[in-house]
Amino acid sequence: MSGIIAFVEHAGDAVDETGLELVTAGHQIAADLGTTLTAVLVGPGADAAAAPLGAYGAADARAVSHPDLGSYAPAAYAESIVQLVTALEPVAVLASGTEKGNEVLAHVAARTDLPMAANCTEIVAAGDGQWTLTRQRWGGSLLEDSQLDAPTKLVSLVPHAFQAAEVNGSGGIPVEAFEPHLDATVTAVRVVDHEASGAGVSLASAPVVVSGGRGVGSAEGFEVLEQLAGLLDGAVGCSRVATNNGWRSHSDQVGQTGTKIAPQLYIACGISGATQHWVGCKDAKNILAINTDPEAPLVTRGNYAVIGSLDEVLPAIVAEVRRRKGA
Ligand SMILES: Cc1cc2nc3c(=O)[nH]c(=O)nc-3n(C[C@H](O)[C@H](O)[C@H](O)COP(=O)(O)OP(=O)(O)OC[C@H]3O[C@@H](n4cnc5c(N)ncnc54)[C@H](O)[C@@H]3O)c2cc1C
């Protein structure tokens, strides 16, 4: 057993910041163990995306390709990695703690019967084989210290918990092609189509998010939230109640099972602030809660609150913002 492999996600021929963080952290762990890091990229564009990763500490890379890997298929990705684990016998497989990274690694764990530690923020890799980890639980509201002992450790890293840094000026590394043996069972679940998200600012990066929950009452009730978001160059978000009721699409959901956001201003309309919602909006710089209940958790935890019904408060805010903007 030697070496560490990192499943690095890429879009086309580019690896984003999260992937570079993974390679930098993986290189550091490998160096601590006196070994090297192999980057593994799957699907079209893998070889071009892999080449520059040497700058971030990868010693070499495998570009995995197969006719069935033209689009994302979690089991096929995982089976490819399992076959590389058999060939390379690494001490660990690392992935980004993204939806895709965690999904692929969970499939690898199920196929190999190895334990997986998801969403780690700190990793101390000891030479005796046991790793000490700190990982996020409950959507980041709890940090857990744990020990991981397995012949091959499966570990995902929380995005932005580690910093990407160039460690090598030259960058270029050997990229070896790898074609796995895949049967039809592993592509039963795969991406067949992509739907572009609607126009306007994206929820994840919007400086202002106007979000609605059960208190909005209906899909039509979101119209005034759309108006306010438009006036503030913001995006509209929602709670899970709004998505469950079919008022908004899941891509608008803020929270543990939605998007985690950190806008300058989060305006929560008729949202109580359950823990699963709070973990998605707690990093907002300012929170304004509009709620009829003065004891609602988002009212007590937020920076500002208006106690009142949305029917009255929101049209008044929209009218005032319009007046100040001269619109
Ligand atoms: C595993 C799991 C994952 C989950 N993931 C998420 C997640 O990602 N995101 C998420 O949001 N939830 C998530 N939930 C659900 C979460 O627990 C809550 O049920 C949900 O957030 C509640 O949504 P809400 O605040 O809109 O509704 P409620 O809790 O019912 O709150 C409605 C609020 O509206 C106020 N209100 C009512 N009428 C008015 C009015 N006219 N004017 C002003 N205020 C009014 C009420 O006072 C109340 O505070 C998850 C739950 C589980 C179990």
Query: What's the pLDDT tens digit per position in 237-278?
Result: 999 999 999 999 999 999 988 888 889 999 999 999 999 999
Residue 212 Cα to ligand 1 middle (Å) = 9
Atom of ligand 1 nearest to the CA of 272: 49
Residue 243 Cα to ligand 1 middle (Å) = 10
Atom of ligand 1 nearest to the CA of 255: 8
Residue 290: strand pairing partners: 269, 306
Pocket test for ligand 1, best of 243, 269, 271 (most atoms within 8 A of CB): 271
Question: What pTM was estimated for this model as a whole?
Answer: 0.73
Residue 265 Cα to ligand 1 middle (Å) = 19
Give the pLDDT score at 260: 85
Residue 195 Cα to ligand 1 middle (Å) = 27
- pLDDT of 2-24, one tens digit each? 899 999 999 999 998 899 999 99
**Residue 146 gets which letter from DSSP?**
E
Long-range contacts of range 188-192, CB-CB < 8 Å, 24 or more positions apart? 188/75, 189/73, 189/74, 189/75, 190/71, 190/72, 190/73, 190/76, 191/71, 191/72, 191/73, 192/71
Distance CA 202, CA 129 (A): 43
Residue 39 Cα to ligand 1 middle (Å) = 41
Q: Whose CA is nearest to atom 27 of ligand 1?
A: 214
- pLDDT of 124-175, one tens digit each? 998 778 999 999 988 777 899 999 999 999 999 998 889 999 998 777 899 9
